[in-house]
Structure 1
Protein backbone atom coordinates (compact mmCIF):
# COMPACT_ATOMS: atom_id res chain seq x y z
CA UNK A 1 0.00 0.00 0.00
CA UNK A 2 1.27 3.49 -0.86
CA UNK A 3 2.11 5.96 1.87
CA UNK A 4 -0.66 8.39 2.81
CA UNK A 5 -0.30 12.13 2.11
CA UNK A 6 0.46 12.69 5.80
CA UNK A 7 3.18 10.04 5.75
CA UNK A 8 4.72 11.45 2.57
CA UNK A 9 4.83 14.94 4.08
CA UNK A 10 6.69 13.61 7.12
CA UNK A 11 9.16 11.75 4.89
CA UNK A 12 9.84 15.02 3.07
CA UNK A 13 10.07 17.05 6.29
CA UNK A 14 12.36 14.55 7.99
CA UNK A 15 14.58 14.32 4.91
CA UNK A 16 15.05 18.09 4.90
CA UNK A 17 15.69 18.16 8.64
CA UNK A 18 18.29 15.38 8.28
CA UNK A 19 19.98 17.11 5.33
CA UNK A 20 19.30 14.23 2.92
CA UNK A 21 18.81 16.68 0.07
CA UNK A 22 19.80 14.38 -2.79
CA UNK A 23 17.15 11.80 -1.82
CA UNK A 24 14.17 14.15 -1.74
CA UNK A 25 13.43 14.12 -5.47
CA UNK A 26 12.35 10.48 -5.15
CA UNK A 27 9.27 11.63 -3.22
CA UNK A 28 7.89 13.46 -6.28
CA UNK A 29 6.06 12.14 -9.33
CA UNK A 30 7.81 12.28 -12.69
CA UNK A 31 5.43 15.01 -13.90
CA UNK A 32 5.02 16.87 -10.60
CA UNK A 33 4.39 20.59 -10.29
CA UNK A 34 5.87 22.60 -7.41
CA UNK A 35 4.83 26.21 -6.95
CA UNK A 36 6.13 28.90 -4.60
CA UNK A 37 3.39 31.55 -4.86
CA UNK A 38 5.21 34.13 -2.72
CA UNK A 39 8.80 33.62 -3.92
CA UNK A 40 10.16 37.10 -4.74
CA UNK A 41 9.36 38.91 -6.83
CA UNK A 42 6.34 37.23 -8.49
CA UNK A 43 6.25 33.55 -7.53
CA UNK A 44 7.85 30.55 -9.22
CA UNK A 45 6.91 27.20 -10.69
CA UNK A 46 8.90 24.00 -11.29
CA UNK A 47 7.72 21.10 -13.42
CA UNK A 48 9.09 17.57 -13.30
CA UNK A 49 11.01 15.45 -10.81
CA UNK A 50 14.40 16.36 -12.28
CA UNK A 51 13.86 20.09 -11.81
CA UNK A 52 12.80 19.52 -8.19
CA UNK A 53 15.72 17.17 -7.51
CA UNK A 54 18.17 19.67 -9.02
CA UNK A 55 16.80 22.43 -6.79
CA UNK A 56 17.22 20.28 -3.67
CA UNK A 57 20.74 19.26 -4.71
CA UNK A 58 21.71 22.91 -5.16
CA UNK A 59 20.54 23.62 -1.61
CA UNK A 60 22.73 20.92 -0.03
CA UNK A 61 25.34 22.38 2.29
CA UNK A 62 24.11 25.98 2.06
CA UNK A 63 21.59 25.95 4.91
CA UNK A 64 20.39 23.80 7.79
CA UNK A 65 16.65 23.48 8.39
CA UNK A 66 14.91 21.59 11.18
CA UNK A 67 11.13 21.33 11.08
CA UNK A 68 9.44 22.02 14.42
CA UNK A 69 5.88 22.58 15.70
CA UNK A 70 4.44 20.60 12.80
CA UNK A 71 0.66 20.48 12.38
CA UNK A 72 -0.76 18.49 9.46
CA UNK A 73 -4.36 19.27 8.53
CA UNK A 74 -6.14 16.47 6.71
CA UNK A 75 -8.90 17.59 4.36
CA UNK A 76 -12.03 16.07 2.88
CA UNK A 77 -9.98 15.52 -0.30
CA UNK A 78 -8.16 12.23 0.43
CA UNK A 79 -5.18 13.25 -1.72
CA UNK A 80 -4.56 16.60 -0.06
CA UNK A 81 -3.04 17.75 3.23
CA UNK A 82 -2.03 21.20 4.47
CA UNK A 83 0.98 21.35 6.77
CA UNK A 84 1.94 24.27 8.99
CA UNK A 85 5.36 24.24 10.63
CA UNK A 86 8.35 26.30 11.68
CA UNK A 87 11.91 25.95 10.44
CA UNK A 88 14.62 26.36 13.03
CA UNK A 89 17.40 27.23 10.63
CA UNK A 90 21.09 28.04 10.47
CA UNK A 91 22.87 29.97 7.74
CA UNK A 92 26.56 30.21 8.52
CA UNK A 93 26.79 31.43 12.09
CA UNK A 94 23.31 32.95 12.14
CA UNK A 95 20.20 31.15 13.36
CA UNK A 96 16.57 31.96 12.63
CA UNK A 97 13.03 30.69 13.03
CA UNK A 98 10.57 31.02 10.16
CA UNK A 99 6.97 30.01 9.46
CA UNK A 100 5.96 27.78 6.54
CA UNK A 101 2.87 26.22 4.94
CA UNK A 102 2.65 23.48 2.32
CA UNK A 103 -0.43 22.43 0.37
CA UNK A 104 0.50 18.94 -0.73
CA UNK A 105 -1.32 16.67 -3.18
CA UNK A 106 -0.16 13.05 -3.07
CA UNK A 107 -1.21 10.27 -5.42
CA UNK A 108 0.01 6.67 -5.28
CA UNK A 109 2.54 7.64 -2.64
CA UNK A 110 4.17 10.44 -4.69
CA UNK A 111 3.81 14.22 -4.57
CA UNK A 112 2.06 15.35 -7.76
CA UNK A 113 1.48 18.99 -6.79
CA UNK A 114 2.82 21.18 -4.02
CA UNK A 115 2.20 24.84 -3.22
CA UNK A 116 4.83 25.99 -0.75
CA UNK A 117 4.66 29.21 1.27
CA UNK A 118 7.76 30.35 3.17
CA UNK A 119 8.85 33.40 5.16
CA UNK A 120 11.27 34.81 2.58
CA UNK A 121 11.71 37.99 4.59
CA UNK A 122 12.95 36.14 7.67
CA UNK A 123 15.25 33.88 5.63
CA UNK A 124 16.72 36.83 3.73
CA UNK A 125 17.42 38.63 7.00
CA UNK A 126 19.26 35.56 8.28
CA UNK A 127 21.72 35.65 5.37
CA UNK A 128 22.12 39.46 5.30
CA UNK A 129 20.20 39.48 2.05
CA UNK A 130 17.53 42.11 2.66
CA UNK A 131 19.02 44.67 0.28
CA UNK A 132 19.32 42.06 -2.46
CA UNK A 133 15.75 40.99 -1.76
CA UNK A 134 14.48 44.56 -2.13
CA UNK A 135 16.28 44.92 -5.45
CA UNK A 136 14.15 42.12 -6.95
CA UNK A 137 10.94 44.13 -6.76
CA UNK A 138 9.77 46.55 -9.43
CA UNK A 139 6.25 48.04 -9.61
CA UNK A 140 4.12 46.39 -12.25
CA UNK A 141 6.36 43.32 -12.60
CA UNK A 142 3.75 40.83 -11.38
CA UNK A 143 1.24 39.33 -13.84
CA UNK A 144 -2.28 40.51 -13.17
CA UNK A 145 -5.09 37.95 -12.81
CA UNK A 146 -7.58 37.64 -15.63
CA UNK A 147 -10.00 35.43 -13.70
CA UNK A 148 -13.27 36.77 -12.27
CA UNK A 149 -13.24 38.50 -8.93
CA UNK A 150 -14.41 36.67 -5.81
CA UNK A 151 -18.15 37.01 -5.23
CA UNK A 152 -20.41 35.77 -2.43
CA UNK A 153 -21.93 32.63 -3.92
CA UNK A 154 -21.75 29.99 -1.16
CA UNK A 155 -24.32 29.93 1.68
CA UNK A 156 -23.51 32.87 3.92
CA UNK A 157 -23.09 30.84 7.13
CA UNK A 158 -20.96 28.10 5.53
CA UNK A 159 -17.17 28.20 5.99
CA UNK A 160 -16.59 29.12 2.34
CA UNK A 161 -19.41 31.64 2.49
CA UNK A 162 -17.75 33.37 5.46
CA UNK A 163 -14.43 33.54 3.59
CA UNK A 164 -16.16 34.94 0.50
CA UNK A 165 -17.90 37.58 2.60
CA UNK A 166 -14.59 38.53 4.22
CA UNK A 167 -12.70 38.91 0.94
CA UNK A 168 -15.60 40.66 -0.77
CA UNK A 169 -15.89 43.04 2.17
CA UNK A 170 -12.16 43.80 2.19
CA UNK A 171 -12.11 44.58 -1.52
CA UNK A 172 -15.22 46.78 -1.22
CA UNK A 173 -13.83 48.83 1.64
CA UNK A 174 -16.35 47.74 4.29
CA UNK A 175 -13.79 48.53 6.98
CA UNK A 176 -14.75 48.11 10.63
CA UNK A 177 -17.99 46.31 9.72
CA UNK A 178 -15.90 43.24 8.84
CA UNK A 179 -15.26 42.67 12.55
CA UNK A 180 -18.81 41.31 12.66
CA UNK A 181 -17.54 38.18 10.90
CA UNK A 182 -15.34 37.36 13.91
CA UNK A 183 -16.19 35.92 17.31
CA UNK A 184 -15.92 38.14 20.38
CA UNK A 185 -12.90 36.13 21.59
CA UNK A 186 -11.26 35.59 18.19
CA UNK A 187 -7.49 35.20 17.73
CA UNK A 188 -5.79 36.32 14.49
CA UNK A 189 -2.08 36.27 13.59
CA UNK A 190 0.02 37.21 10.54
CA UNK A 191 3.00 34.82 10.74
CA UNK A 192 4.92 36.28 7.77
CA UNK A 193 4.97 39.85 9.14
CA UNK A 194 7.91 40.62 11.46
CA UNK A 195 6.04 42.97 13.80
CA UNK A 196 2.28 42.49 13.28
CA UNK A 197 0.58 42.16 16.68
CA UNK A 198 -1.65 39.29 17.62
CA UNK A 199 -5.24 40.46 17.28
CA UNK A 200 -7.49 39.20 20.05
CA UNK A 201 -11.14 40.02 20.29
CA UNK A 202 -13.61 41.69 17.99
CA UNK A 203 -12.69 45.20 19.17
CA UNK A 204 -9.09 44.76 17.99
CA UNK A 205 -10.32 43.41 14.66
CA UNK A 206 -12.61 46.44 14.34
CA UNK A 207 -9.63 48.77 14.83
CA UNK A 208 -7.56 46.70 12.39
CA UNK A 209 -10.17 47.00 9.64
CA UNK A 210 -11.22 50.59 10.43
CA UNK A 211 -8.95 52.26 7.83
CA UNK A 212 -10.87 50.30 5.15
CA UNK A 213 -7.82 48.11 4.59
CA UNK A 214 -7.71 46.62 1.14
CA UNK A 215 -10.09 49.04 -0.55
CA UNK A 216 -7.60 49.33 -3.41
CA UNK A 217 -7.55 45.53 -3.87
CA UNK A 218 -9.53 42.98 -5.87
CA UNK A 219 -9.72 39.34 -4.72
CA UNK A 220 -9.26 36.59 -7.34
CA UNK A 221 -8.70 32.86 -7.71
CA UNK A 222 -10.19 31.70 -4.41
CA UNK A 223 -9.67 27.99 -3.73
CA UNK A 224 -10.79 26.49 -0.43
CA UNK A 225 -10.01 23.17 1.25
CA UNK A 226 -12.40 21.89 3.87
CA UNK A 227 -10.66 20.25 6.80
CA UNK A 228 -11.76 16.94 8.25
CA UNK A 229 -12.22 19.09 11.32
CA UNK A 230 -15.54 20.70 10.28
CA UNK A 231 -14.50 24.04 11.79
CA UNK A 232 -11.35 24.30 9.64
CA UNK A 233 -11.14 25.84 6.19
CA UNK A 234 -7.93 26.67 4.30
CA UNK A 235 -8.14 29.36 1.62
CA UNK A 236 -5.74 30.31 -1.16
CA UNK A 237 -6.39 33.46 -3.18
CA UNK A 238 -4.76 36.46 -4.78
CA UNK A 239 -5.27 40.17 -4.24
CA UNK A 240 -4.64 42.37 -7.28
CA UNK A 241 -4.08 46.11 -6.96
CA UNK A 242 -6.78 48.09 -8.75
CA UNK A 243 -4.09 50.27 -10.27
CA UNK A 244 -2.23 47.30 -11.72
CA UNK A 245 0.87 47.76 -9.57
CA UNK A 246 1.10 44.42 -7.77
CA UNK A 247 -0.43 41.02 -7.03
CA UNK A 248 -0.40 39.32 -3.61
CA UNK A 249 -0.67 35.56 -3.08
CA UNK A 250 -2.20 34.60 0.27
CA UNK A 251 -3.13 31.56 2.32
CA UNK A 252 -5.42 31.67 5.36
CA UNK A 253 -5.89 28.85 7.88
CA UNK A 254 -9.21 29.67 9.50
CA UNK A 255 -11.47 28.12 12.11
CA UNK A 256 -15.17 28.99 12.00
CA UNK A 257 -17.77 28.09 14.60
CA UNK A 258 -21.47 29.01 14.50
CA UNK A 259 -20.85 31.24 11.49
CA UNK A 260 -18.05 33.30 13.13
CA UNK A 261 -14.27 33.20 12.71
CA UNK A 262 -12.71 32.08 15.98
CA UNK A 263 -9.06 31.72 14.87
CA UNK A 264 -7.14 32.60 11.75
CA UNK A 265 -3.52 32.47 10.71
CA UNK A 266 -3.18 34.75 7.70
CA UNK A 267 -0.07 34.04 5.63
CA UNK A 268 -0.04 37.17 3.50
CA UNK A 269 2.55 38.37 0.99
CA UNK A 270 3.74 41.37 2.97
CA UNK A 271 6.85 41.77 0.83
CA UNK A 272 4.91 42.27 -2.40
CA UNK A 273 2.42 44.55 -0.63
CA UNK A 274 5.18 46.73 0.79
CA UNK A 275 6.96 46.90 -2.56
CA UNK A 276 3.73 47.87 -4.32
CA UNK A 277 2.82 50.55 -1.79
CA UNK A 278 6.30 52.11 -1.48
CA UNK A 279 6.71 50.96 2.13
CA UNK A 280 9.37 48.30 1.56
CA UNK A 281 12.14 50.23 3.41
CA UNK A 282 9.96 50.34 6.53
CA UNK A 283 9.24 46.61 6.32
CA UNK A 284 12.93 45.79 5.90
CA UNK A 285 13.81 47.96 8.90
CA UNK A 286 11.22 46.08 10.95
CA UNK A 287 12.75 42.76 9.84
CA UNK A 288 16.23 43.93 10.83
CA UNK A 289 15.02 44.97 14.26
CA UNK A 290 12.93 41.85 14.92
Structure 2
Protein backbone atom coordinates (compact mmCIF):
# COMPACT_ATOMS: atom_id res chain seq x y z
CA UNK A 1 0.00 0.00 0.00
CA UNK A 2 1.33 3.44 -0.97
CA UNK A 3 1.37 5.77 2.03
CA UNK A 4 1.34 9.59 2.00
CA UNK A 5 4.97 9.47 3.16
CA UNK A 6 5.85 7.22 0.20
CA UNK A 7 4.36 9.78 -2.20
CA UNK A 8 6.20 12.67 -0.55
CA UNK A 9 9.49 10.76 -0.71
CA UNK A 10 8.92 10.01 -4.40
CA UNK A 11 8.15 13.68 -5.06
CA UNK A 12 11.31 14.75 -3.23
CA UNK A 13 13.48 12.24 -5.07
CA UNK A 14 12.23 13.30 -8.50
CA UNK A 15 12.68 17.00 -7.74
CA UNK A 16 16.21 16.40 -6.46
CA UNK A 17 17.03 14.35 -9.57
CA UNK A 18 15.38 17.04 -11.77
CA UNK A 19 13.16 14.41 -13.38
CA UNK A 20 10.43 16.97 -13.99
CA UNK A 21 8.39 14.94 -16.47
CA UNK A 22 7.92 12.17 -13.90
CA UNK A 23 6.64 14.46 -11.16
CA UNK A 24 3.17 14.96 -12.62
CA UNK A 25 2.35 11.24 -12.45
CA UNK A 26 2.20 11.70 -8.66
CA UNK A 27 -0.78 14.07 -8.97
CA UNK A 28 -4.42 13.13 -9.55
CA UNK A 29 -5.99 14.30 -12.80
CA UNK A 30 -8.06 16.88 -10.89
CA UNK A 31 -5.35 17.81 -8.38
CA UNK A 32 -5.27 21.32 -6.92
CA UNK A 33 -1.99 23.03 -6.02
CA UNK A 34 -2.05 26.31 -4.11
CA UNK A 35 0.84 28.65 -3.33
CA UNK A 36 -0.65 31.00 -0.72
CA UNK A 37 2.54 33.07 -0.37
CA UNK A 38 3.76 33.14 -3.96
CA UNK A 39 4.79 36.71 -4.84
CA UNK A 40 3.41 39.06 -5.86
CA UNK A 41 0.00 37.34 -5.48
CA UNK A 42 -1.00 33.80 -4.46
CA UNK A 43 -1.53 31.19 -7.16
CA UNK A 44 -3.86 28.25 -7.61
CA UNK A 45 -3.57 25.57 -10.29
CA UNK A 46 -6.29 23.03 -11.03
CA UNK A 47 -5.69 19.79 -12.92
CA UNK A 48 -2.66 17.68 -13.78
CA UNK A 49 -2.39 19.12 -17.28
CA UNK A 50 -2.44 22.67 -15.93
CA UNK A 51 0.43 21.74 -13.62
CA UNK A 52 2.33 20.21 -16.52
CA UNK A 53 1.78 23.32 -18.64
CA UNK A 54 2.99 25.71 -15.94
CA UNK A 55 5.79 23.67 -14.40
CA UNK A 56 6.84 21.30 -17.18
CA UNK A 57 10.25 22.94 -17.49
CA UNK A 58 10.93 22.66 -13.79
CA UNK A 59 13.09 25.01 -11.77
CA UNK A 60 16.48 25.81 -13.27
CA UNK A 61 18.28 24.91 -10.10
CA UNK A 62 20.11 22.07 -8.47
CA UNK A 63 18.88 21.35 -4.97
CA UNK A 64 18.68 18.75 -2.24
CA UNK A 65 16.16 18.41 0.55
CA UNK A 66 17.42 18.50 4.12
CA UNK A 67 16.03 18.35 7.66
CA UNK A 68 12.78 16.73 6.54
CA UNK A 69 10.17 16.49 9.29
CA UNK A 70 6.87 14.78 8.49
CA UNK A 71 3.78 15.30 10.63
CA UNK A 72 1.02 12.74 10.36
CA UNK A 73 -2.40 14.15 11.18
CA UNK A 74 -5.64 12.81 12.55
CA UNK A 75 -6.92 12.92 8.97
CA UNK A 76 -5.27 9.82 7.43
CA UNK A 77 -5.18 11.47 4.00
CA UNK A 78 -3.18 14.50 5.17
CA UNK A 79 0.47 14.98 6.07
CA UNK A 80 2.46 18.15 6.66
CA UNK A 81 6.12 18.25 5.63
CA UNK A 82 8.71 20.74 6.86
CA UNK A 83 12.08 20.77 5.11
CA UNK A 84 14.88 22.87 3.63
CA UNK A 85 15.90 23.12 -0.01
CA UNK A 86 19.64 23.66 -0.31
CA UNK A 87 21.03 24.27 -3.77
CA UNK A 88 22.27 26.49 -6.55
CA UNK A 89 20.54 28.59 -9.20
CA UNK A 90 22.07 27.28 -12.42
CA UNK A 91 21.69 30.55 -14.36
CA UNK A 92 23.70 32.55 -11.82
CA UNK A 93 25.74 30.01 -9.89
CA UNK A 94 24.46 31.53 -6.64
CA UNK A 95 23.55 29.27 -3.74
CA UNK A 96 20.40 29.30 -1.63
CA UNK A 97 19.07 27.64 1.50
CA UNK A 98 15.32 28.01 1.92
CA UNK A 99 12.74 26.76 4.39
CA UNK A 100 9.50 25.18 3.19
CA UNK A 101 6.33 23.65 4.56
CA UNK A 102 3.74 21.73 2.54
CA UNK A 103 0.33 20.40 3.43
CA UNK A 104 -0.47 17.41 1.22
CA UNK A 105 -3.71 15.50 0.86
CA UNK A 106 -3.29 12.06 -0.75
CA UNK A 107 -5.91 9.67 -2.04
CA UNK A 108 -5.39 6.33 -3.78
CA UNK A 109 -1.65 6.94 -3.87
CA UNK A 110 -1.90 10.34 -5.60
CA UNK A 111 -1.73 13.96 -4.48
CA UNK A 112 -5.20 15.50 -4.74
CA UNK A 113 -4.48 18.80 -2.96
CA UNK A 114 -1.28 20.56 -2.01
CA UNK A 115 -0.76 23.86 -0.21
CA UNK A 116 2.87 24.88 -0.58
CA UNK A 117 4.60 27.58 1.46
CA UNK A 118 8.17 28.48 0.41
CA UNK A 119 10.75 31.08 1.45
CA UNK A 120 10.72 32.84 -1.91
CA UNK A 121 12.98 35.81 -1.12
CA UNK A 122 16.40 34.05 -0.93
CA UNK A 123 15.51 31.92 -3.96
CA UNK A 124 14.60 34.99 -6.02
CA UNK A 125 17.79 36.72 -4.84
CA UNK A 126 19.87 33.74 -5.98
CA UNK A 127 18.19 34.01 -9.40
CA UNK A 128 19.03 37.75 -9.60
CA UNK A 129 15.32 38.46 -9.68
CA UNK A 130 14.94 41.12 -6.99
CA UNK A 131 14.29 44.04 -9.35
CA UNK A 132 11.56 42.11 -11.13
CA UNK A 133 10.12 41.19 -7.74
CA UNK A 134 9.85 44.86 -6.78
CA UNK A 135 8.19 45.73 -10.09
CA UNK A 136 5.73 42.89 -9.64
CA UNK A 137 4.60 44.17 -6.26
CA UNK A 138 4.17 47.69 -7.67
CA UNK A 139 1.41 46.56 -10.03
CA UNK A 140 -0.04 43.47 -8.33
CA UNK A 141 -3.34 43.57 -6.50
CA UNK A 142 -4.73 40.80 -4.33
CA UNK A 143 -8.49 40.61 -4.24
CA UNK A 144 -9.83 41.59 -0.83
CA UNK A 145 -13.22 40.40 0.33
CA UNK A 146 -15.01 41.15 3.61
CA UNK A 147 -13.70 39.16 6.56
CA UNK A 148 -16.28 36.59 7.70
CA UNK A 149 -17.52 36.74 11.31
CA UNK A 150 -15.29 35.02 13.84
CA UNK A 151 -16.61 31.52 14.56
CA UNK A 152 -17.36 30.57 18.14
CA UNK A 153 -14.67 28.41 19.70
CA UNK A 154 -15.51 25.04 21.21
CA UNK A 155 -11.92 24.19 22.17
CA UNK A 156 -10.56 23.93 25.69
CA UNK A 157 -8.55 27.18 26.00
CA UNK A 158 -5.62 25.23 27.49
CA UNK A 159 -5.59 22.63 24.70
CA UNK A 160 -3.18 23.00 21.76
CA UNK A 161 -6.10 23.98 19.52
CA UNK A 162 -7.42 26.44 22.08
CA UNK A 163 -3.99 28.02 22.58
CA UNK A 164 -3.53 28.38 18.82
CA UNK A 165 -6.88 30.16 18.53
CA UNK A 166 -6.00 32.48 21.41
CA UNK A 167 -2.67 33.32 19.76
CA UNK A 168 -4.12 34.06 16.32
CA UNK A 169 -7.10 36.02 17.58
CA UNK A 170 -5.03 37.74 20.27
CA UNK A 171 -3.10 39.53 17.53
CA UNK A 172 -6.38 40.52 15.89
CA UNK A 173 -7.63 41.85 19.23
CA UNK A 174 -4.42 43.80 19.87
CA UNK A 175 -3.80 41.97 23.14
CA UNK A 176 -0.08 42.73 23.02
CA UNK A 177 0.37 42.49 26.79
CA UNK A 178 -1.52 39.20 27.07
CA UNK A 179 0.04 37.36 24.14
CA UNK A 180 3.40 36.62 25.87
CA UNK A 181 1.49 34.83 28.64
CA UNK A 182 0.57 32.11 26.13
CA UNK A 183 4.23 31.03 26.08
CA UNK A 184 6.24 29.07 28.63
CA UNK A 185 8.95 30.90 30.57
CA UNK A 186 11.47 28.99 28.45
CA UNK A 187 10.32 28.55 24.88
CA UNK A 188 11.68 28.47 21.34
CA UNK A 189 10.08 30.58 18.62
CA UNK A 190 11.59 30.80 15.14
CA UNK A 191 10.49 32.91 12.17
CA UNK A 192 11.62 30.83 9.22
CA UNK A 193 10.77 33.35 6.49
CA UNK A 194 12.35 36.41 8.12
CA UNK A 195 16.01 36.79 7.09
CA UNK A 196 18.37 37.02 10.03
CA UNK A 197 15.65 36.56 12.64
CA UNK A 198 16.93 35.49 16.04
CA UNK A 199 15.28 32.65 17.92
CA UNK A 200 13.08 33.90 20.76
CA UNK A 201 13.89 31.79 23.80
CA UNK A 202 11.90 33.21 26.69
CA UNK A 203 8.63 34.83 27.63
CA UNK A 204 10.57 38.04 28.14
CA UNK A 205 11.80 37.83 24.53
CA UNK A 206 8.17 37.50 23.46
CA UNK A 207 7.19 40.58 25.46
CA UNK A 208 9.75 42.57 23.51
CA UNK A 209 8.69 40.97 20.23
CA UNK A 210 5.02 41.83 20.58
CA UNK A 211 5.78 45.50 21.09
CA UNK A 212 5.78 45.67 17.27
CA UNK A 213 2.00 45.71 17.45
CA UNK A 214 1.90 48.91 19.44
CA UNK A 215 4.71 50.56 17.49
CA UNK A 216 3.31 49.62 14.09
CA UNK A 217 -0.34 50.46 14.73
CA UNK A 218 -1.30 46.96 13.59
CA UNK A 219 -4.97 46.35 12.84
CA UNK A 220 -5.44 42.76 11.68
CA UNK A 221 -8.41 40.44 11.47
CA UNK A 222 -8.11 36.66 11.23
CA UNK A 223 -9.80 34.76 8.44
CA UNK A 224 -9.84 31.20 7.08
CA UNK A 225 -8.29 29.64 10.19
CA UNK A 226 -7.80 25.89 9.72
CA UNK A 227 -6.14 23.88 12.49
CA UNK A 228 -4.69 20.45 11.76
CA UNK A 229 -4.25 18.16 14.74
CA UNK A 230 -1.22 15.90 14.42
CA UNK A 231 -0.54 12.41 15.75
CA UNK A 232 1.61 14.05 18.43
CA UNK A 233 -0.97 15.28 20.98
CA UNK A 234 1.18 18.30 21.83
CA UNK A 235 1.51 19.56 18.25
CA UNK A 236 -1.00 21.44 16.10
CA UNK A 237 -0.48 23.14 12.75
CA UNK A 238 -2.61 26.10 11.81
CA UNK A 239 -3.15 27.93 8.53
CA UNK A 240 -4.74 31.36 8.56
CA UNK A 241 -4.76 34.75 6.88
CA UNK A 242 -4.35 38.16 8.45
CA UNK A 243 -6.24 40.94 6.69
CA UNK A 244 -5.84 44.54 7.77
CA UNK A 245 -3.39 47.43 7.94
CA UNK A 246 -0.10 48.24 9.64
CA UNK A 247 1.55 51.60 10.17
CA UNK A 248 -0.98 53.46 8.06
CA UNK A 249 -0.66 51.11 5.07
CA UNK A 250 -3.43 50.28 2.65
CA UNK A 251 -5.43 47.17 3.54
CA UNK A 252 -3.65 43.93 2.69
CA UNK A 253 -4.01 40.20 3.23
CA UNK A 254 -1.25 37.70 4.03
CA UNK A 255 -1.26 33.93 4.48
CA UNK A 256 0.60 32.16 7.28
CA UNK A 257 1.15 28.72 8.75
CA UNK A 258 2.45 27.98 12.26
CA UNK A 259 3.61 24.74 13.89
CA UNK A 260 2.98 24.89 17.65
CA UNK A 261 3.98 22.55 20.45
CA UNK A 262 1.83 23.17 23.52
CA UNK A 263 2.53 21.60 26.91
CA UNK A 264 0.50 22.22 30.06
CA UNK A 265 -1.42 24.95 28.26
CA UNK A 266 1.68 26.93 27.22
CA UNK A 267 3.63 27.19 23.96
CA UNK A 268 7.05 25.58 24.37
CA UNK A 269 7.96 25.68 20.68
CA UNK A 270 6.65 27.52 17.63
CA UNK A 271 7.86 27.60 14.05
CA UNK A 272 6.19 30.54 12.35
CA UNK A 273 6.05 30.66 8.56
CA UNK A 274 4.76 34.22 8.17
CA UNK A 275 4.58 35.93 4.76
CA UNK A 276 7.04 38.66 5.71
CA UNK A 277 7.65 39.37 2.03
CA UNK A 278 4.03 40.39 1.40
CA UNK A 279 3.89 42.38 4.65
CA UNK A 280 7.06 44.28 3.75
CA UNK A 281 5.73 45.07 0.28
CA UNK A 282 2.39 46.28 1.66
CA UNK A 283 4.01 48.51 4.28
CA UNK A 284 6.71 50.02 2.04
CA UNK A 285 9.58 48.14 3.70
CA UNK A 286 10.59 45.78 0.90
CA UNK A 287 14.10 47.25 0.54
CA UNK A 288 14.57 46.98 4.30
CA UNK A 289 13.63 43.29 4.21
CA UNK A 290 15.95 42.61 1.27
CA UNK A 291 18.82 44.28 3.13
CA UNK A 292 18.53 41.56 5.80
CA UNK A 293 19.61 38.85 3.37
- Residue 27 to residue 231, structure 1, CA distance change in 2 (3 Å): same
Greater mean deviation of Cα atoms: 127-136 or 70-79: 127-136
Residue number in structure 1 paired with 2:278: 272
Deviation at 1:140, TM superposition (A): 7.8
Residue number in structure 2 paired with 1:136: 136
Q: Please give the per-residue CA displacement for 1:239-261, whole angstroms capped at 9, x wherever unaligned.
A: 00147521100000111111111
Mapping of 1:1-290 within 5 angstroms? 1=1, 3-59=2-58, 62-92=60-90, 93-138=93-138, 141-150=141-150, 153=153, 154-212=155-213, 215-242=218-245, 245-287=251-293
Q: Please give the per-residue CA displacement for 1:61-115, whole angstroms capped at 9, x wherever unaligned.
A: x111211111111001000000000001211211111001110000000000000
Task: Compute the TM-score of the two structures, normalised by the length of structure 2.
Answer: 0.93
Greater mean deviation of Cα atoms: 173-182 or 98-107: 173-182
Unaligned runs of 5+ in 2: none
Q: Please give the per-residue CA displacement for 1:22-81, whole angstroms capped at 9, x wherever unaligned.
A: 100000000000000000112000000111223332225x11121111111100100000
Task: Compute the TM-score of the two structures, normalised by the length of structure 1.
Answer: 0.94
Q: Is the 8 A contact 1:151 1:168 kept in 2?
A: no
- Residue 204 to residue 73, structure 1, CA distance change in 2 (3 Å): same
Q: Is the 8 A contact 1:150 1:167 kept in 2?
A: no
Q: Please give the per-residue CA displacement for 1:107-157, whole angstroms capped at 9, x wherever unaligned.
A: 000000000011110101111111111111148811224342545612211
Aligned-residue RMSD, C-alpha: 1.7
2:213 and 2:158 map into 1 onto residues whose CA distance is: 23
- Residue 89 to residue 279, structure 1, CA distance change in 2 (3 Å): same
- Residue 158 to residue 231, structure 1, CA distance change in 2 (3 Å): same
SS of equivalent residue, structure 2 residue 185: strand
Q: Is the 8 A contact 2:250 2:282 kept in 1?
A: no
2:85 and 2:44 map into 1 onto residues whose CA distance is: 22
1:190 and 1:45 map into 2 onto residues whose CA distance is: 25
Q: How many residues align?
A: 285
Q: Is the 8 A contact 1:172 1:215 kept in 2?
A: no
